[in-house]
A = this chain, B = another copy of it.
Amino acid sequence: MAVYTHLGADQFAALITEYDVGELVSVKGIAEGVSNSNWLVETTGSDGALDSAGNPQTRFILTMYERRIDLDDLPFFLGLLDHLSAKDGPVPRTIHDRTGNASRTLDGKAIALIEFLPGVSIENPTEAQAKAVGAALAGIHLASADFADTRKNDLRPVDWQKLFDQCGDHLAEIDPALPGIISQHMPRLLSEWPEDLPHSTIHADLFPDNVLMLGNEVTGLIDFYFACTDITAYDLAVTHAAWCFGDLGTVFRPEIGAAMMAGYESVRPLSDAELSALPLLAQGAAMRFAATRAFDWINTPDDALVKRKDPMDFMKRLEFYAEHGHTAFRRRAI
């Protein structure tokens, strides 16, 4: 949770005049995002920015990019939102300023104003909700097929290995079993990682806190700041690993996994090659999050603003996928 930069009312009010959104009514720093500062901004609205129902948009998320994000990537991230929202994908639209820019500079940092979307983040999805999430993910895969811009994924297997290497001997301090699990699985992931599967723009981080829902409907996919061009089915593997485990993330929920798969395939059927690669891709997804969590664990002070996340949760998921992946990703009637 974070608002890293203090901005005064004068700065907000002046910023808002650069957009055709009416006058500033309210601004609240919100406790979301670890690499950015975010504010929920309310304005009087104008005909310059209409919501999907054609009414003046009055609520926005103002994001200030503080760190981690390479500003050269900002046009990719914001362009992707524009591309997907133009196809009525459930993503926030960017609000362009009066001169047409999707991002500006404030207080020396890049900022963007994007649409506020309703919905809440679901932690323990029902089957209907998991199905909707799978379908929404497939929807953005289809919708991004003609998105021309590309971005390299900087968290591929070789990058996980580099992160573990930088952790060095500290890995065993997190958990004595951690180095062994890495050396058992990492070589295979490096050598067997598939390169011949379909690629597309992927979200690459579609955890529950990046999905807004109302009931069984997905109202928003947000936080595209890991989006990149990579193996399409890997995105499903990431989402599967992020959503389908209960009891604090350690016990697979087969009915949730099956519902997510069914939802995905209702929009974008998987090829046989993709389907049979999913157990390995899911092990990779688990390893990827274990790698960044281990790195952050070692490099985050005990009492920092950002709560540390235990990488071992994902190692347990990796071991599940290594042992039961072929069963978990078998197509089932739903």
Chain A interface (Cβ within 8 Å of chain B)? 1-3, 8-10, 12-13, 24-32, 40, 42, 116, 118-124, 212-214, 301, 303-305
A26 lies within 8 A of B305 (CB)? no
How distant is the Cα of A225 from the Cα of B120 in the complex, in angstroms? 29
Quick one: given A32-B28, A303-B304, are A8 and B123 in contact (CB under 8 Å)?
yes
Chain B residue at smallest Cβ distance from A215: B23
Pairs A–B under 8 Å by Cβ, sample size 12? A1-B2, A1-B31, A8-B124, A9-B120, A9-B213, A10-B124, A25-B119, A26-B118, A28-B31, A29-B31, A29-B32, A30-B30
- Establish whether residues B10 and A119, one from each chain, have CB atoms under 8 Å apart when the complex forms: no
Query: In chain B, what residue has the closest Cβ to A41?
Result: B120
Least Cβ–Cβ distance between A232 and chain B, in angstroms: 28
Contact, CB under 8 Å: B25 / A123 = no
Which of A2, A26, A27 has most chain B Cβ within 10 Å?
A26
B3 with A31: CB separation less than 8 A: yes
CA distance A95 to B2 in the complex (A): 28
How close is A275's CB to chain B, nearest CB, in angstroms?
Answer: 31
Contact at A123–B30, with CB atoms within 8 Å? Answer: no
Are A26 and B303 in contact, with the CB atoms below 8 A? no
Specify the chain B residue showing the minimal Cβ separation from A27.
Answer: B120
A27 to chain B, nearest CB (A): 6
Return A51 CB to nearest CB of chain B, in Å.
14
A303 to B116, CA, bound (A): 32
B119/A26 in contact, CB under 8 A: yes
A21 → chain B closest CB, angstroms: 15
For the complex with contacts A28-B31, A31-B31, A303-B303, 5 further pairs of A-B residues with Cβ separation under 8 Å are A8-B124, A10-B123, A13-B120, A25-B214, A42-B118
Instruction: Return the chain B residue nearest A9 by Cβ.
Output: B120
Q: Which 5 A-B pairs have the closest CB atoms?
A: A29-B31, A9-B120, A3-B31, A28-B30, A25-B118
Q: A55 → chain B, closest Cβ, in Å?
A: 14
Task: Select one of B24, B40, B120, B121 contacting A30, CB under 8 A.
Answer: B40
* CB of A26, distance to nearest CB on chain B (Å): 5
CA of A26 to CA of B115 in the docked complex: distance in angstroms?
A: 14
Within the complex, the shortest CB–CB distance from A213 to chain B, in Å, comes to 8
Least Cβ distance of A24 to chain B in Å?
A: 6
Complex Cα–Cα for A9 and B213 (A): 10
**Bound state CA distance, A305 and B121, in angstroms?**
24
Residues of B within 8 A of A12 (CB): 120
- Residues of chain B lying within 8 A (CB to CB) of residue A123: 8-10
Across-interface contacts of A303 in B (CB, < 8 A): 301, 303-304
Chain B nearest Cβ from A23, distance in angstroms: 8
Residues of B within 8 A of A13 (CB): 120
Question: How far apart are the CA atoms of A116 and B9 in the complex, in Å?
Answer: 18
- A124 — which chain B residues lie within 8 A by C-beta? 8, 10
State in angstroms the CA–CA spacing of A304 and B303 once bound together. Answer: 7
Q: Which residues of B are found within 8 Å of A118, using beta-carbon distances? A: 25-26, 42
| Interchain CA distance A12-B214 in the complex, whole Å | 13
